[in-house]
Every structure is written in structure tokens, then in C-alpha cells.
């Protein structure tokens, strides 16, 4: 813990303080003066030269101190990099002398002063985790742990590393107080309560983002160099490389930065992490890395369509906003397949899950859990869940695991006493009232098994997320995006390509300046490393297109 404090609240060297003074401006503040308030969108960054400032969290019933920042130390956490709503109020505890930098000044200083850049990134990441761990910062979600809608909100917040306060109506006496205070009825739950009187009953994810101050604002006539659709590994890699090479990049994701990889309990085959790395850690680091180079990443932000207007590509969002850009990277990955069994929709988020993260593991602690699928993602989920669940059943349609799962996972699963593998089986029925309570499974001989479980995890493959590209770029028979040499001649036999005077680049779609990378691309290797490689590579084609646009 002592080491964490040193990383979270480092003291900068005299040399770095001097260098920051030259890049910012000095400011004197009086005791009690507020530098920025919770909920305020700000990218301002303060370094204490003399005196002390504090970060406090609270509401009308009182505030409590989250941190104190003394001489040589600085303010901020992850939201400072993206100029999103501040999670705490920052004020002077005594008369103080500070250095103030605006958002651009901070990013520039991080680029130019590597020690400062490293200290800031490490501190911001740790402070965000500390704020999450308190469970007392951010929007309050009041709801039942059995409610799919409440699960969806918590899942969104968890996947995006957004601190929130969970108030369970089943167990937490504060729930009643909050509902009574806001005159909410049980039918209004889940309810979200933000700062400055913001709240929403039965909120959507977009309402939650609004309440938490995450919603991005767009300028009508702005032309980006690159709009990336999808913030999975491919989209994040492209964002990091594009922003670090000076391109003006906006990355939009409908749900969460990290994509599928963000839901992986442990990625063991990604280069450079011999002990493995959790998907959450890998993608959080990538988001902060992209933001420190100036990339904008916005969630939740559903892209509805792609079009052309003059020389620009137009990316239209679900709310009608039109983003104008020179290039687009299609990095929208794949969507999980569902089971074709009656009552499936009744239990999505109420017992049926597509990811096995800490949150889901907690839900099935000491209980029986069922995982469906024969691939590596199913295997990883089994290994992860077996640590929390009493018993894990793995249901596989095929006759063995060898054809679809890596050897190391098969060996690990075989060595686990609380895992049972059921080959040649499939789910035939779901039971429960408002929440999954049991499933029925049958094998090829018609023998039936009933498992009492409140947690069914599906890892049964996925389909390309290309609905938003309707008739805009060429797709293969399965709906994946065709690029480069895989494009049929007729897809490029048109005036636009004649004007371009060149063949499509390796990752270019049938529309010049529109690229595709990662799982969504036809013929790609469906792996994190491949997606990262393609996302990074696409940026060199973006540069080439911008130099000779068509
Ligand atoms: C549980 C699990 C474990 C895995 N483990 C491993 C592993 O150990 N090693 C490994 O190499 N690979 C692993 N994989 C596979 C790996 O995660 C994928 O290959 C990789 O994430 C693909 O990255 P991507 O960026 O192409 O797409 P994705 O990760 O699918 O990301 C696509 C993103 O696009 C967004 N999106 C889609 N449509 C839209 C739209 N219209 N508007 C806005 N946003 C949109 C989605 O919300 C998503 O965030 C695992 C996958 C899963 C599911």
C-alpha cells in the first residue's frame, strides 16, 4: 500500500517542476478556493509549489477527503486526459502557490518530459482504480442485483472503468432512504443519481453516460483525419499510432473500450506478458495510452452508417450526429452468437452472460455455473470461474475439446476437480422466474440433465458487426469486410478507383480511404495480437491516403 501511495501521489523533481513552470502559468489561491468542482468538465492540471490542496467527494450531507496533494505533487486522474466530468472537487486547504496547465499544455508536457509523462500516467491509472475501489465515488446506481437492467448499467461502468456507487435494494438500507428522498417508486428502479440534481429512472446506457458526464460534444464543421469505429484491440491500436503520429483521431465505441478482449479474464498469449494479462488491464492501459497522445475515445457511441460527401467520409451516429473525416477504420469486430432456445431473451443479463469478469464471478460464488462452448474463450472462462463457483459444467457440442481448444487450457481444465466436461451436449430449455434458476441439457442419445444454476456463460462464436456498413463496402458471404487483394475486380472497377490511380492497400476496403482491421476483416486471424497488428498497420495507409486523397 505504501508503494501504491508513492506511485499514485509521486513528488516531482525540482528539475521537472522547473520545466513545468516554463510550460504553464503560476497561480496563487486562497484557502478554501475551489479549483474545479465535481461534475465540471475540465482538463486543467495543477502542480503544488507551496501549500496544499485536497480532493474531496461528497454531497449535501457532507464531504470527505479523498486525497491531499502537497508540494511537488499534482492533481488529476484518467478523466483529466479526456476532459470528462471531474469525479471529485479539488480545493486549496491553505493559501497556496501552484502551476496551472490546460489540457493541451499537459499533453505537450507529457510528450516533452518523459519522466513527467510516466509519473502522470502511472498516477492517473492508480488513482482511478483507488476511486473505483472506494465504491463511494461517481453516479449512484440504485437497483436489484437480480435486475438485468441494473446488471447492464454496472457492466457498462465496470467495463469502462467508471467509478460508481452500487446500492442494492435487496440488502442495503441506504436504498430505501435514497428512493424515498427522490420520491422514486420500486417500479422506477434501477435509478441513477448523479451530481447537481441529475437523475434518471429506468435509464438507458446513454442516460447513464449523460449522468456521469461522459458524453462527448462534437463540432459540426470539424474534419477528422481518422474516425475509428470500434475500440477493441484493433481500434485502440490504430488510435494510439494515429494520435502519436499527429493525426486528428476520434474513436467511437457502442459499448466499451476493449471490445471482446476487455471481457477476457486472462490473455496468456499476448507478446510481452509471460504471466498473462487481464483483458481489462490491457485495454485500460491502451485507452490511457491513446488519450495521452491526444486521441478522443467516446463511449457509448453507436455508429449507424457510413457515407460519402464530396471528398469526405461521413460517419453517422445513432443520435443523428454526422462526423466528417478523411479516413475511416472499420474495427467493429464481431457480436456474440446466442442460443436458439425458448425464453432466451427473458434471461439475458439475468443469468445469461457473454463475459466472465470479476463481477460475474462474484454472482456465482459458491454456486454452480455452466459454460457453453469448445473454444479458448470458453476454456478461459471455465478456469477463471472455477476459482469462485462450487462446480463448473462445460457443455461442448463436439466429440472432444482437442479440435478447438489450446492444449494448455485442456490440461488445466482436466486438473480442476470442480469442473465437469459434458461432450456432445446442448442446452434445450431454460427455467426461472425473472431470473435464470435452472437449465436442461440433452446429449445426442436424448439423455437429459437438469442443472440448477443462476449463471449460464455463452462462448459459442460470433458474427461480424457490419450491419452499419449496408451496401457501402464489399463484404464476403458471411458478412465480413473484404480488403486489399481479397476484393473482387468488380468492387474496384469504378471512377473513384480510376481517379485514385492505384490498387487498394492491403487493409483498404472497396471504398478508398476506408480501411478495416481485426476480427471484422474477412480472413483475419481472430486474436488480440493480430487485431493490434492490423490496427497499427492501417495507420500507414491512412497517411498514404491523406497525402493523395480521392
Ligand atoms: C472471452 C474472450 C477471450 C478471449 N481471449 C483471447 C486470448 O486469450 N488471446 C487472443 O489472442 N484472443 C482472445 N480473444 C479474441 C480477441 O479478443 C479478439 O480477437 C479481439 O478482441 C478482436 O479485436 P477487434 O478490435 O478486432 O474487435 P472487438 O474486440 O470485437 O472490438 C470491436 C468493438 O467494436 C464495437 N462496435 C461494434 N459495432 C459498432 C458500431 N456500430 N458502433 C460503434 N462501435 C461498434 C464493439 O462494441 C467492440 O467494442 C478472446 C475473445 C473473447 C470473447
Nearest C-alpha neighbor of 520 from the set 467, 450, 447, 452? 467
pLDDT in tens, 440-471: 999 988 899 999 999 999 999 889 999 999 88
- Residue 360 pLDDT: 85
Nearest C-alpha neighbor of 405 from the set 383, 428, 427? 383
Non-local CB neighbours of 320 within 8 Å, separated by 6+ positions: none
Q: Pairing relation of β-strands 322-330 and 312-317?
A: antiparallel
264 lines ligand 1 (CB under 6 A): yes
What cell was used for 276? 498473462
Q: How much distance in Å is there from the Cα of 25 to the middle of ligand 1?
A: 43
Nearest C-alpha neighbor of 76 from the set 323, 319, 247, 291? 291
- Residue 60 pLDDT: 54
261 lines ligand 1 (CB under 6 A): yes
Cis peptide before 190 (omega within 30 of 0): yes
Q: How much distance in Å is there from the Cα of 261 to the middle of ligand 1?
A: 5
Q: How much distance in Å is there from the Cα of 277 to the middle of ligand 1?
A: 16
- Residue 86 pLDDT: 92
Ligand 1 mutation pick, 378, 528, 532, max ligand atoms within 8 A of CB: 528
- Residue 62 pLDDT: 66
- Residue 268 pLDDT: 83
- Residue 444 pLDDT: 87
Nearest C-alpha neighbor of 73 from the set 95, 53, 92, 87? 53
- Residue 171 pLDDT: 92
Residue 117 sits at φ, ψ, to 5 deg, of -55, -45
Q: How much distance in Å is there from the Cα of 538 to the middle of ligand 1?
A: 17
Q: Pairing relation of β-strands 223-229 and 249-252?
A: parallel
Q: How much distance in Å is there from the Cα of 513 to the middle of ligand 1?
A: 23
- Residue 358 pLDDT: 81
d(Cα 126, Cα 288) in Å, to the nearest integer? 12
108 lines ligand 1 (CB under 6 A): no
Q: How much distance in Å is there from the Cα of 136 to the middle of ligand 1?
A: 31
Place of cell 465437469: 420
What DSSP state is assigned to residue 464?
Answer: E
d(Cα 452, Cα 436) in Å, to the nearest integer? 9
The string of DSSP letters for 248-268 reads: -EEEE-SS-TTTTGGG-S-B-
What percent helix, strand, coil does the chain show, rounded to 5?
Answer: 30, 25, 40
Element of type H or E holding 507? none
Q: Whose CA is nearest to atom 19 of ligand 1?
A: 527
Q: How much distance in Å is there from the Cα of 307 to the middle of ligand 1?
A: 24
527 lines ligand 1 (CB under 6 A): yes
- Residue 42 pLDDT: 82
pTM of the prediction? 0.87
- Residue 357 pLDDT: 82
Ligand 1 mutation pick, 332, 515, 521, max ligand atoms within 8 A of CB: 332
251 lines ligand 1 (CB under 6 A): no
pLDDT in tens, 355-401: 888 888 888 899 999 999 999 999 999 999 999 999 999 999 999 99
504 lines ligand 1 (CB under 6 A): no
Count of residues making up the chain: 550
Contact 353, 379 (CB under 8 A): no
Contact 424, 338 (CB under 8 A): no
Torsion of CA 119, 120, 123, 126, to 10 degrees: -120
Element of type H or E holding 193? strand 191-193
Stretches where the chain sits below pLDDT 70 are: 1-3, 59-62
- Residue 55 pLDDT: 95
Amino acid at each position: 500500500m505504501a508503494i501504491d501511495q508513492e506511485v499514485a501521489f509521486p513528488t516531482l523533481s525540482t528539475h521537472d517542476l522547473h520545466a513545468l513552470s516554463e510550460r504553464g502559468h503560476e497561480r496563487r489561491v486562497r484557502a478554501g478556493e475551489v479549483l474545479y468542482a465535481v461534475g465540471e468538465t475540465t482538463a486543467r492540471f495543477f502542480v503544488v509549489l507551496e501549500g496544499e490542496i485536497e480532493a474531496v467527494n461528497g454531497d449535501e450531507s457532507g464531504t470527505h477527503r479523498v486525497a491531499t496533494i502537497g508540494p511537488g505533487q499534482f492533481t488529476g486522474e484518467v478523466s483529466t486526459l479526456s476532459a470528462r466530468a471531474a469525479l471529485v472537487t479539488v480545493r486549496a486547504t491553505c493559501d497556496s502557490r501552484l502551476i496551472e496547465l490546460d489540457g493541451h499544455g499537459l499533453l505537450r508536457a507529457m510528450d516533452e518530459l518523459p519522466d513527467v509523462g510516466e509519473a502522470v500516467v502511472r498516477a492517473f491509472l492508480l488513482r482511478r482504480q483507488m476511486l473505483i475501489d472506494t465504491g463511494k465515488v461517481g453516479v449512484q446506481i440504485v437497483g436489484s442485483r437480480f435486475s438485468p437492467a441494473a446488471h447492464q448499467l454496472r457492466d457498462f461502468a465496470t467495463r469502462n472503468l467508471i467509478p460508481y456507487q452500487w446500492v442494492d435494494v435487496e440488502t442495503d438500507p441506504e436504498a430505501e432512504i435514497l428512493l424515498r428522498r427522490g420520491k422514486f417508486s420500486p417500479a422506477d428502479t434501477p435509478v441513477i443519481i448523479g451530481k447537481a440534481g441529475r437523475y434518471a429512472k429506468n435509464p438507458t446506457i446513454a442516460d447513464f453516460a449523460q449522468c456521469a458526464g461522459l458524453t462527448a460534444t462534437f463540432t459540426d464543421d470539424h474534419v477528422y483525419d481518422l474516425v475509428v469505429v470500434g475500440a477493441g484491440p484493433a481500434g485502440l491500436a490504430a488510435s494510439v499510432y494515429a494520435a502519436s503520429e499527429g493525426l486528428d483521431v476520434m474513436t467511437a465505441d457502442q459499448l466499451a473500450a476493449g471490445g471482446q478482449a476487455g471481457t477476457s479474464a486472462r490473455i496468456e498469449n499476448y507478446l510481452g506478458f509471460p504471466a498473462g494479462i487481464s483483458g481489462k488491464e490491457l485495454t485500460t492501459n491502451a485507452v490511457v495510452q491513446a488519450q495521452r497522445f491526444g486521441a478522443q475515445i467516446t463511449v457509448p457511441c453507436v455508429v449507424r452508417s457510413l457515407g460519402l460527401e464530396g471528398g469526405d467520409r461521413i460517419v453517422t451516429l445513432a443520435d443523428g450526429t454526422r462526423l466528417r473525416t478523411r479516413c475511416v477504420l472499420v474495427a467493429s469486430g464481431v457480436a456474440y452468437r446466442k442460443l436458439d432456445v425458448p425464453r432466451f431473451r427473458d434471461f439475458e443479463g439475468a443469468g445469461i452472460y457473454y463475459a466472465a469478469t470479476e463481477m460475474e464471478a462474484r454472482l456465482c460464488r459458491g454456486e454452480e455455473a455452466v459454460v457453453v462452448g469448445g473454444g479458448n474463450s470458453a476454456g478461459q472462462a471455465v478456469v477463471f470461474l472455477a476459482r469462485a463457483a462450487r462446480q463448473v459444467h462445460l457443455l461442448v457440442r463436439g466429440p472432444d475439446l482437442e479440435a478447438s481448444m489450446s492444449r494448455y487450457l485442456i490440461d488445466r481444465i482436466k486438473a480442476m476437480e470442480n469442473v465437469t466436461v459434458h461432450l456432445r451436449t446442448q442446452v434445450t430449455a431454460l427455467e426461472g422466474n425473472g431470473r435464470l434458476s435452472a437449465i436442461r441439457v440433452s446429449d445426442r442419445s436424448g439423455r437429459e440433465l437438469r442443472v440448477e444454476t443462476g449463471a449460464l456463460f455463452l462462448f459459442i462464436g460470433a458474427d461480424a458487426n457490419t450491419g452499419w456498413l449496408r451496401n457501402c463496402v464489399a463484404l464476403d458471404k458471411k458478412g465480413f469486410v473484404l480488403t486489399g487483394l481479397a476484393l473482387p475486380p468488380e468492387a474496384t472497377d469504378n471512377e473513384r478507383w480510376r481517379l485514385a490511380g492505384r490498387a487498394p492497400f492491403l487493409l483498404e476496403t472497396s471504398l478508398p480511404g476506408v480501411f478495416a482491421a481485426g476480427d471484422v476483416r474477412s480472413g483475419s486471424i481472430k486474436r488480440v495480437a493480430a487485431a493490434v497488428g492490423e490496427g497499427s498497420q492501417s495507420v500507414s495507409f491512412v497517411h498514404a491516403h491523406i497525402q493523395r486523397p480521392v
